[in-house]
Amino acid sequence: MTFIVSAYFIGALSVLIALSVMILKIGTVLGQCPDKGQAARAGSITIATGFAAIGAGCVTLIAAALPALGFGLMALCICLGGATLALGLGFSNAVATLRSVMVDTKPQAPQANPV
Residue extents of the structural domains in the chain:
2-102
DSSP output for 77-95: HHHHHHHHHHHHHHHHHHH
Between the CA of residue 7 and those of 98, 106, 111, what are the distances in Å? 31, 48, 60
Quick check: 31 pLDDT over 90?
no
DSSP output for 62-75: HHTTHHHHTSSHHH
How long a stretch of residues is the chain? 115
105 Cβ contact list (under 8 Å, min separation 6):
none
Residues 67-92 have pLDDT tens digits of 888 888 999 999 999 999 999 999 99
Quick check: 106 pLDDT over 80?
no
Which pLDDT score, from 0 to 100, does residue 89 have? 95
Kindly report whether the global pTM for this prediction surpasses the value 0.85: no
